[in-house]
Amino acid sequence: MTLAGFVVALVIGTLPGARGPGQVSAGLPAARPPQPPAGCPAGGFPAAQRPWAPAAAALPRRGAAGRAPRGRRSSCALPGAEGRPGCAPGAGRGRAGCEQGSVRLQGGKNEFEGTVEVYLNGIWGTICGSHWDNNDATVVCRQLALGEKGTAKHIPFSGLGLIPVFWSEVRCRGDEENILLCEKDTWQDGTCPQKMAAAVTCSSSLAPVFTPIRLAGGSNAHEGRVEVYHGGQWGTVCDDQWDDADAEVVCRQLGLGGVAKAWGQAYFGEGSGPVLLDEVQCTGNELSIEQCPKSSWREHNCAHKEDAGVSCTPLTDGALRLTSGRGSHEGRLEVYHSGQWGTVCDDGWTELNTQVVCRQLGFKYGKSAGLEKESSSEGSSGPIWLDDVSCSGKETNLLQCSRREWGKHDCNHQEDVRLICHPDNDSHKLSLGPPIRLMDGENKKEGRVEIFINGQWGTICDDGWSDKDAAVVCRQLGYKGPARARTMAYFGEGKGPIHVDNVKCTGSERSLADCIKQDIGTHNCRHSEDAGVICDHLSKKAPGNSNKDSLASVCGLRLLHRRQKRIIGGKNSLRGGWPWQVALRLKSSHGDGRLLCGATLISSCWVLTAAHCFKRYGNNTRNYAVRVGDYHTLVPEEYEEEIGVQQIVMHKEYRPDSSDYDIALVRLQGPEEQCARFSTHVLPACLPLRRERPQKTAPNCYITGWGDTGRAYSRTLQQAAIPLLPKRVCEERYKRRFTGRMLCAGNVQEQKRVDSCQGDSGGPLMCERPGESWVVYGVTSWGYGCGVKDSPGVYTKVSSFVPWIKSVTKL
């Protein structure tokens, strides 16, 4: 990728009050700055006449208040240059903070990439890229507030023109706040081995990049004109498309709870500086204005008389909301008092009262709604706060109307006031309530549903959770395809509070908030019941294939293991990632069954497992069933299929009191090679060659299963990378119990603790051959304890039994 062809300068100044690049105690060796050519004030050079610069001078001290200098700069005002932009190196290529050690990116396709330039002694210069690495790049990205991850790039000097090189090598640890804090070598001898300059690409994947934002011109800290910080300057936002959904995001980003309302037409006074944003169109679900659809920076058709503002009214006594309607514009009226929401009785309620309420909520007018839509089961369970309310219609707040004392009434919840409010125009977007997100799915369209309430992300209990609830969640997140509910912590257990239980959507609501029928935080659940969804769910199955030759050609293919995965640090597999994984289940007279062993699909009708799986319950085929395509043991999957057992063949040399010859074959019920239906989630593994040694041919090995996770058996299919060990390791540990028909594998270091307990008895040890076909080299057999130091797992060596397998299965 050529970064030098297209010049875009990202320039970040120093935020007032923020820690600046100059806030460092240790100085650099002093050096005289080069003298400028004639016609340019001291300290500055035209871009085409930049000299090769020596090391940086000592860092300037900060002001007494500890703040960076305030004020706008059209470009770098150099010492003695009196702010004349023509003498600022790189003038016209963006705006930058011009303190010693400021950095900027030049020549990238966007603000997240480019050649690194550093500001020293009044001059912008580069860094030799010979030893430039990701740690150095990460420090630059952090200094520019472009995220917590940087990737080192290198750009030929030949494309950069005449520009100084300051440092021949930078050695950052990666945790520094400023590149001046890194160790470095001054560029002296004029050589840079590869003749490449340091460049970076910044990624915000590890930490969201939030544009700094503030409120100005309001009468208190909860309201004001919205101002954002970009390119070293504070500027305003135009009110085109500005509404309460945008206000909700601004209030959330500022950490201000309560009721958010948008204001236009410079309600809080006209700002100064540039208009930085226009056409902001948040859904109300974002965490920062940066995440909302909007114009490009500085692209607008506005004047300051259209500056946007917000008010973030705190939840104080008298705050109002409408609940249990089809949106936040209608429903049961609730009022906030003493830390709790309660209802209002309809005794003496008039349309004048309704107008006051709707106006207080930011709507133009409204009307009372009947009670026929609400059944007693949907009514509020909270207090009835107000009764006998009487307004003149001129009040700005419901509490200004005459009423009884708080909590004094003679009503029940069948008499709760219900309203419908109407906005100024049809294009007004209604607030969608608390934001929601999907976590730990395999892509952004699925995951555990989490909701942001009271400043904290929390989960939803799956009691009553259905596809109708999933449809509302997916629609709120902007997905239009079919939605499917997932229960039983299908996407893993969340952390933090369980905010919501017994969600009841009809499927037509605009937001999940409209489906919440009971008080926040009230539930009888654990995180093992966290609800999830799959949005834009595709329902496609590959038909069964009876052609034996074509089946043999697809063995060992993992079609779904490269999808995006957001699970961090977990050992969960991807759905369909191990398509030959089989669950051998014990049938029960109650019909519930339970997982007995893992196994490996080697053809449509044959499964490979361990002989010891049948030691306890015998080889009566009616005791067992085989489940293919399974992922979560308690949630039925689309590709999942449970098939009866027709035949069990244990190796004739296996003895229950021994671990040798621990291998068995299971024939599934069904016509020849038409037992299990193949799909992306159900495919056979390849068999090894006779006497093939995977240590030499296939080093990338995994065990899979629903085995021990360290706390309990997992509900979702687990995977763990596992190293194959020399046989002498197991021979020394297990003596004569370990034979030549066994494989030795596992981590012998105590802190790693990966062995057969992470898989299941009888389950596969798979290794990848070069060329991406996966081979079942081992069957999980035995070991001493779980993850015990110096006690690796032992696996039946499948390559020793290939002739036997082929003679039984006729494959």
Containing H/E element for 385? strand 384-386
Using CA atoms, how far residue 720 sits from 19, 702, 758, in Å, is 44, 5, 7
CB atoms within 10 A of CB 653: 12
Tokens of 486: 């997932």
- Local structure of 351: helix, strand or coil: helix
Q: Answer left, alpha or beta for residue 191, where phi above 0 means left and psi between -120 and 50 means alpha.
A: beta
Rg (CA), the chain: 34
- Local structure of 266: helix, strand or coil: coil
Beta bridge partners of 309: 225, 263
Tokens of 506: 């009809």
Q: Are 391 and 351 in contact (CB under 8 A)?
A: no
Contacts of 405 (CB under 8 A, 6+ apart): none
Catalytic residue among 761, 781, 799, 800: 761
Is 760 among the residues known to form the active site? no
Tokens of 764: 């596969």
Is 590 among the residues known to form the active site? no
Tokens of 810: 């006729």
Q: What share of the chain is helix, strand, coil (3-state, %, to 5)?
A: 15, 25, 60
Q: Are 587 and 626 in contact (CB under 8 A)?
A: no
Catalytic residue among 523, 612, 651, 681: 612
Encoded amino acid at 573, one letter? S
Tokens of 87: 């003498």
Tokens of 742: 């066994």
Q: Are 124 and 165 in contact (CB under 8 A)?
A: no
Residue found under tokens 């009191």: 657
Catalytic residue among 278, 514, 660, 662: 662
Tokens of 352: 């004048």
Give the Cα-Cα-Cα angle 415, 419, 425 (nearest 5 degrees): 180
Strands 594-601 and 581-586: antiparallel
- Local structure of 328: helix, strand or coil: coil
- Local structure of 739: helix, strand or coil: coil
Rounded to 10 degrees, the C-alpha dihedral 110/112/113/115 comes to 110
Distance CA 387, CA 242 (A): 36
Among 584, 561, 564, 569, which residue's Cα sits nearest to residue 764?
584
Contacts of 772 (CB under 8 A, 6+ apart): 556, 557, 558
- The dihedrals phi and psi of 557, each to the nearest 5 degrees, come to -95, 130
Tokens of 344: 């209002």
Terminal alpha carbon distance of the chain? 50
Beta bridge partners of 186: 167
Is 612 among the residues known to form the active site? yes
Strands 223-230 and 309-313: antiparallel
Encoded amino acid at 733, one letter? R
Distance CA 410, CA 53 (A): 84
Distance CA 371, CA 69 (A): 61
Q: Which residues are catalytic?
A: 612, 662, 761
